[in-house]
Amino acid sequence: MAEVNEAVKERSMVIQKEMLAELFTELSTAKEKGRKVVYTFVPGNLTELILALDMLPVYPEINALQSGMRKKSASYIKDAEKMGFSEDVCTYVKCDIGMMLNGNIGPTGEKLPDPDLLLLSYTGCFTFMKWFENLEKLYPGVEIAMLHTPYQEDGRITEDQITYMVKQLEEEVIPKLEKVAGKKLDRARLAKMLENSSKAEDLWVKVLHSAKTVPSPIDSYFAGVYYMGPLFTAFRGTERALEYYQELHDEIMERQAKGLLPITPEGEMKEERFRLLVEGPPNWTNFREFWKIFYDMGAVIVASTYTKVGGVYDQGFRHDPDNPIESLARYCMGCYTNLSLPQRVDLLEHYIKEYKVDGFLINSIKSCNSFSAGQLLMMREIEKRCGIPVGFIESDLVDPRYFSYANIKNRLESYFQMLAQRKSILAQQPTTEKA
């Protein structure tokens, strides 16, 4: 087997690794120190509320993807299937359940604490509800709070929906959080955290927009999943997250000014041949070799939908410290998985135009209905509206049985050949004809 060299990391990635290590150490000692722990999900999360009450959040999705990257998910999934979970069940769920059955050991090798509260912010994924039903059985007697988020069926957020969300937050969610925390919510502290969130979101959007440059200084999909981490999970609202995004912003702006290409695990890319838009989550069990197929071919993902799963900030939303509870409600309703299919298609079309995209690619995840439902319709609609080559590959989140390297590589190579041929034809056309 070929030796795998240690991955090259950007400065901001090193900082983030330190932040995560500190978090998991905090979690491992939470019970000893009397800290309360909240299990919750990434889309539509209420991180600022949790942190404002001095509780610590745990994200089962993050545990699952970390297990996938550490090559532990296969055995966890098999253990969950032995319990009766079907092969068709979301592999995040099975990996998380299997991880708990095996001692609930986190990415740093330290045991994660049991939850004091299960906080479900439902945002377009029905599986979340079934997931928490199973967690409730595994942790009998645990407190439960649910925030039901209306789906944007008509493609907009209405005042009635906001009123409904605010009522739930004020009358059900916050009182339950206060009960578990043993203290009242400090509203001034929450407002300050939302101010930090808004500033970090500004910086994050500037990083995303840097990919409009040709060549792009970032990969918005493979590197983007690292960049989005602190904002989408346990750090949003903190001074540490703000410092991280300032460092990331400065780093990327420097690369942009110098005309540098993205950093990959093997170093800086030398050429940008293709600019892609990707729909769907990545595969985590073979993340590095999956990414390598792209950068070996000079393909840079300049925009992706997965990096909007924790908030579509580049479309204008910011957390508002002057209207904290309403702001949290709007955030939950605006996450990518809570958008209707027509909204998603419109967003894809916008990205194709704004980011000078050469091709649109879907990575369809076998066990993720939240993303995969409607993707073929989206692909056909984008092809019709934008006239660019579309591609389709299939894998899974954390189940290595559904990642076929040879099959995916063959499909992508054929797709890149099609892109190269199209670019060659366009390059030979007169300027007026291209326009």
Identify the burial level of 433 via C-beta atoms within 10 angstroms of its C-beta, where 0-12 means exposed, 13-18 middle and 19 or more buried.
exposed
Picking from 40, 202, 185, 214, the residue whose alpha carbon sits closest to that of residue 121 is: 40
The answer for residues whose C-beta is within 8 angstroms of residue 17's C-beta and 6 or more apart is 9
Token pair 């092809």 in the structure block, residue = 383
Query: Which of 285, 342, 276, 282 shows the shortest CA–CA distance to 309?
Result: 282
- Give the DSSP per-residue string, 263-283: EETTEE-----EEEEEESPPP
Of 88, 42, 70, 19, nearest in space to 402 by CA = 88
- Kind plus residue range of the DSSP H or E element containing 360: strand 359-365
Q: What does the DSSP assignment read for 382-421?
A: HHHHH---EEEEEE-SS-GGG--HHHHHHHHHHHHHHHHH
Residue at token pair 């309360």: 36
The residue ranges of every structural domain in the chain are: 11-429
Helix (DSSP H) and strand (DSSP E) numbers for the chain:
19, 10
Token code pair at residue 351: 């990205």
> Which residues make Cβ contacts (< 8 Å) with residue 380, sequence separation at least 6?
none
Taking the model in full, what pTM does it have?
A: 0.94
Tens-binned pLDDT, residue by residue, of the chain (435 aa): 344 577 777 778 888 888 988 999 999 999 999 999 999 999 999 999 999 999 999 999 999 999 999 999 999 999 999 999 888 889 999 999 999 999 999 878 889 999 999 999 877 787 888 888 888 888 999 999 999 999 887 889 999 999 999 999 999 999 999 999 999 999 999 999 999 999 999 999 999 999 999 999 999 999 999 999 999 999 999 999 999 999 999 999 999 999 999 999 999 999 999 999 999 999 999 999 999 999 999 999 999 999 999 999 999 999 999 999 999 999 999 999 899 999 999 999 999 999 999 999 999 998 888 888 889 999 999 999 999 999 999 999 999 999 999 999 999 999 999 999 998 888 887 765 554
User: Which contacts (CB < 8 Å, 24+ apart) does range 136-140 have?
Assistant: 138/97, 138/100, 139/114, 139/115
